[in-house]
Amino acid sequence: MKTLKEELKYIHRDLCHISDHLYKHPELGDQEYQSMQLLMNLLKEHQFEIEAGVAGRKTAFKAVFDSGKPGPAIAYLAEYDALPGVGHGCGHNLIGTMSIGAGIILSKQLTEIGGSVVVLGTPAEETNGAKVPMSENGFFDSIDVAMIVHPGDQAYESGDSLAMDAIQFAYFGKTAHAAAAPEKGINALDSVLQLFNGINALREHLPTDVRIHGIIANGGEAANVVPDKAVAQFYVRAKERKALNAVVEKVKKIAEGAALMTGATLEVSNYELSYDNMVTNQALSNTFTKHLEQITAQPVLPAKQSYGSIDMGNVSHVVPAIHPYIGFDKPGLIAHTKEFADMTITDKGHQMIADGALALAQTGFEVITDPNLLTAIKQEFNQRKI
């Protein structure tokens, strides 16, 4: 039986080709038809059973390789959506190829060690993450651990992220001539302005981990017409879901007060899916870190404080999960930039595909072959849920 590293040599060129193609042809969230197909094609070549269009998302997929023998189920999550204007400035072309690479090379060992490998194609992480409906609709019920690795300026251990709600406040008033008959109008934009003022006053009384930031998505059509509709969209974030829910209720009360002040009516909705905070499984994280440090000369730094939000957080609440970072070894390199995207097609980017895929596969191999490790992972997960 060939080693995982030997198996990787056979597919590394294919993985780099796919990653470079995604870089050259970036697709936004829920539009990643070509990207999805390229990833699925390689998995299919290696005898994975493929189902496309899962979880109600046309560009999501589930690929399974089952040994037919008892053993844990290891899930690798693939992302492949790009960003407007900068393409793969978050390196999802690397994420997708590292995950399918890990799944393929681990699958070659399963006839000997048992278990199964599942690769989930999870579109639209940047906007409306498919991991949310997957977490809610039983996709992880038969999974033992779930893993994904993200490119970064340097390598970091898996850490946390903020829970997030994306909330829209739409106010409806009454049009009137703003100069000739202003008393006849109800100004919806005034409600939005009062909403911003109220939220700004609230900030003084919030925990330091809370983040609230928003825009006016619709502020009216003309300066001489009293706006009869105005819309604000906010992201509200906090370290844990329970704390976030409490903050959101306060923000909604402010929104209701702003409507009362002007006489407008209010409609509240979520304009994107909500993300839960990431809960890293430390036993699984330590195992991945050990393997990555053995593969690459770069140190794996302690998890950095995160003020962003990821849909992997939702996964971590239903199954033991990790979301570590593998580094370009360029301290200070900023994600969501063209410079970051360009790094993904360099020799360093191609080496990261190999290193990340191998570390993921070795971690999965150890989970399958070491019952004590799997027990520790599950005990930690169950204790965190209490």
Query: Do residues 152 and 52 share a domain?
Result: yes
Query: Do residues 259 and 304 share a domain?
Result: no
User: Where does a domain end: 252, 270, 288?
Assistant: 270
- β 150-152/155-156 pair status: unpaired
DSSP helix/strand/coil, 285: helix
- The values of phi and psi at residue 112, to 5°, are -90, -40
Query: Strand (E) positions, the chain?
Result: 49-52, 61-66, 73-78, 116-121, 145-147, 150-152, 155-156, 163-172, 211-218, 229-238, 265-270, 300-301, 321-322, 325-327
Locus of tokens 């490998």? 117
- pLDDT of 205-243, one tens digit each? 999 999 999 999 999 999 999 999 999 999 999 999 999
CA distance linking residue 318 with residue 200, whole number of Å? 35
CB-based contact 95:340 (threshold 8 Å): no
Query: Do residues 23 and 154 share a domain?
Result: yes
Task: Quickly state the pLDDT bin for 384 (edges 50, 70, 90).
Answer: confident
User: Where does a domain end: 223, 246, 270?
Assistant: 270
* pLDDT reading at 386 higher than 60: no
Query: Do residues 240 and 98 share a domain?
Result: no
Q: What is the pLDDT of residue 258?
A: 98
Q: What is the pLDDT of residue 306?
A: 82
* pLDDT reading at 1 higher than 80: no
Candidates 37, 78, 12; CA nearest to 353 is: 12
CA distance linking residue 103 with residue 65, whole number of Å? 8
Average pLDDT for residues 83-89, to the nearest whole number?
96
Q: What is the pLDDT of residue 37?
A: 98
- Alpha-carbon distance values, 166 to 188, 215, 338 (Å): 21, 12, 26
Query: Do residues 293 and 208 share a domain?
Result: no
Locus of tokens 């060690």? 113
Q: What is the pLDDT of residue 307?
A: 84
Q: Say which residues have a Cβ less than 8 Å from residue 37's Cβ, sequence separation at least 6.
A: none
Query: Do residues 178 and 263 share a domain?
Result: yes
Residue 167, strand partner residues: 234, 270
Residue 62, strand partner residues: 51, 120
CB-based contact 99:77 (threshold 8 Å): yes
- pLDDT of 239-295, one tens digit each? 999 999 999 999 999 999 999 999 999 999 999 999 999 999 999 999 999 999 999
Q: Say which residues have a Cβ less than 8 Å from residue 17's Cβ, sequence separation at least 6.
A: none
* pLDDT reading at 41 higher than 90: yes
Candidates 267, 169, 165, 272; CA nearest to 217 is: 169
- pLDDT of 323-357, one tens digit each? 999 999 999 999 999 999 999 999 999 999 999 99
User: Where does a domain end: 270, 299, 322?
Assistant: 270
| Angle (deg, nearest 10), helices 33-45 and 4-24 | 160
Structure tokens at 197: 């003022």
CA distance linking residue 102 with residue 104, whole number of Å? 6
Task: Quickly state the pLDDT bin for 385 (edges 50, 70, 90).
Answer: low
**CATH code of the domain in which 215 resides:** 3.30.70.360
* Number of domain units in the chain: 2
Q: Could you write out the DSSP letters of every residue in 328-358?
A: -S-TTPPSSSHHHHHHTTSHHHHHHHHHHHH
Locus of tokens 């390689």? 42
Query: Do residues 92 and 217 share a domain?
Result: no
Query: Do residues 72 and 197 share a domain?
Result: no
Query: Do residues 32 and 106 share a domain?
Result: yes
CA distance linking residue 109 with residue 129, whole number of Å? 31
Candidates 383, 282, 368; CA nearest to 70 is: 368
Query: Do residues 195 and 340 share a domain?
Result: no
CA distance linking residue 380 with residue 373, whole number of Å? 11
Task: Quickly state the pLDDT bin for 51 (edges 50, 70, 90).
Answer: very high
Adjacency order of strands within the sheet including 229-238: 211-218, 229-238, 163-172, 265-270
Query: Do residues 115 and 33 share a domain?
Result: yes
- pLDDT of 286-313, one tens digit each? 999 999 999 998 899 999 888 889 999 9
**CATH code of the domain in which 379 resides:** 3.40.630.10
Q: Say which residues have a Cβ less than 8 Å from residue 309's Cβ, sequence separation at least 6.
A: 161, 162, 163, 164, 235, 237, 275, 277
Query: Do residues 146 and 284 share a domain?
Result: yes
Range of the structural domain that residue 264 is part of: 163-270
